Amino acid sequence: MKRKRSRHEVSPEAILKQLMLELLYPAVLGAVLLFTLEVVERALSSLRMWRSPNVAFDLITTEKLLLLVATGLFYCCDYAYIILTREFHVKFFAYDCVFLLGLYVTLASLHVRERDANLPPITWRIALVYAAFFIMYRKWDKSELRDTNDAKEQQFYRDVLYWEAWSFWLLVGATVAAVILPNSSLPALLLFVVLMASTYHFFRLVQRKRLFATA
C-alpha cells in the first residue's frame, strides 16, 4: 500500500531538483564563467596586434572564446528550463547529471586551460556531445508531453521536439564538417553559428515555458 505523504514532507524528486539547481549546476556554470574570463584575457591580448606588429592575432583562442560563450549561454537556458519544470522526476536528475558530464567533456575538448593554449578545440567531439544531448532532451520532453492534457502545453512540447530535431541534424552536419576539415577553423565557426541559432530558439522556448510553469 502506497504511503500518503504528509503535508510538510519533501519528496525525493523535490530534493533532487534542489540539489541540482542549488549545488551541482551553479558549481559547473561557475567553472564555465571562470574559464571564459581566462580565455577572454588571452583573446584580448592577441588584439594588441592593431597596435604592435610583434603581436599576432590568436585565431585558436578566438575560436575557443566563441564556443565558450555559446556553451555558457546554452547551459544557462538549460538551467532555466530545469527551474521551470514542474514535475521533476528522478530520471530527469539522471539526465541532468549526464548533461553536466557532457559539459565537462566539452570544456576538456575546448582545451581552455592555459597549458593547452596552443591546442585547437576538438570540434567534432564537442558537436557530437551536443548531438547526443539532444537525443536525451528529446526523451525528456516526450515524457513531459505525455504528462500533460492541456492542448496549448502539448503544442509547446511539439515545438520543443521540432527544435530538438533540427538542432540535432545541424549538429550532425557540424560533426561531419569537423571530421572532413580537421585542420580548418571553418568547422568551429560553423558549430558556433549552429549553437547560437539553437540557443536563441532555446531561449524563446524557455520564455514560453514560463507561462505553463506559473499557471
Question: Quick check: 172 pLDDT over 50?
Answer: yes
pLDDT tens-digit profile of 8-57? 566 777 787 777 777 678 887 787 878 777 777 766 665 554 455 555 56
Q: Quick one: pLDDT band at residue 2, thresholds 50, 70, 90?
A: very low
With a CB cutoff of 8 Å and minimum separation 6, the contacts of 65 are: 36, 39, 40, 43
**Single-letter code of the amino acid located at 4:** K
pLDDT tens-digit profile of 203-215? 999 999 888 765 5
Q: Nine-digit cell at 43?
A: 583573446
pLDDT tens-digit profile of 95-136? 888 888 888 888 889 888 777 778 889 999 999 999 999 998
Going by C-alpha positions, the residue among 95, 163, 171, 96 that lies closest to residue 129 is 171
Q: Nine-digit cell at 71?
A: 556553451
Question: Quick check: 58 pLDDT over 90?
Answer: no
Higher model confidence: residue 174 or residue 51?
174
Q: What span, in angstroms and rounded, lies between the C-alpha atoms of 188 and 168? A: 16
pLDDT of residue 122: 94
**Contact indicator for 122, 47 with CB cutoff of 8 Å:** no
Only one residue has cell 536563441, namely 200
The runs of H, that is alpha helices, within 47-58 are none
**Single-letter code of the amino acid located at 101:** L
Only one residue has cell 577572454, namely 40
Q: What span, in angstroms and rounded, lies between the C-alpha atoms of 168 and 184? A: 22
pLDDT of residue 1: 43
Q: Cα–Cα distances in Å, from 9 out to 14, 65, 213? A: 10, 45, 22
